[in-house]
Amino acid sequence: MGDGAARKLRLCVLKHPGNNVIGMVSRCDKIAGTVEQILGGEVYHYHSKLIMKDARTGGKFVWHQDYGYWYNNYIVFPDMLSVLMPIDPSLKENGCLEVLVGSHKCGRINHVRIGGQIGADLERLEMVKTFCPHKYVELQPGDALFQHSNLLHTSEPNTSAMRRWMFIVAYNKASNNPVKEHFLPSYTKLHKVNDTAILDCKNEDDLEDELFMDPKIDFTIDLKG
């Protein structure tokens, strides 16, 4: 999808965690169990995505809240979060995550179409910036960042020679099931596994159990933007 500035972002979205290595990561107690502790109850896998911001050509993400998207998916409460796990070093020079610290306390902000993306209302964004400090979040492979669904965040284009790929798992609280079905999953029991399942798993590339999302049915993106 476009970023509104002639660059492109590539995403691959999985609806359900399978029995391969990435499925074990999504289902392991260290990740999913920690999410349950943070949100205070049972959670389910809302979706996973690989964000591919390639060297020199990778586009930017405009300022947004994840719940700014998910609110339109008939989800009533922002009892959701994402876990960001870098595959490559995620640095300022290759377009790392940027956040407005504490902005999740502002509640949901209206979002509008910006290029091929949906971003936070710019007037309200400037108001929030006067209270919430801007921070670059540099991460290394092996790190994990747990991010509230109302946190305002962005990332600049990747103009460097370094690839920046990021694996993200989004979770929703089981009690926060969407009131209508949409293109991402409603509540589906998450079968958690021990942390050792990641190293024990020999299934590295079987994607049979995952359901890939068809971008043509995702109304939050514009492939022509």
Sign for the CA dihedral angle at 97, 103, 108, 113 comes to: negative
List, for residues 18-60, the tens digit of each pLDDT value.
899 999 999 999 999 999 999 999 999 999 999 999 999 998 9
In this structure, are residues 82 and 174 in contact, taking their beta carbons and an 8 Å threshold? Answer: no
Which residues, including other chains, have CB under 8 Å from residue 211's CB and lie 6 or more apart? 14, 15, 16
Encode pLDDT of 180-198 as tens digits: 999 899 999 999 999 999 9
What digits encode the pLDDT tens for the residues 85-102? 999 999 999 999 999 999
What is the model's pTM? 0.91
Please give the CATH number for the structural domain made up of 10-217.
2.60.120.620
Residue 138 has pLDDT above 90, yes or no: yes
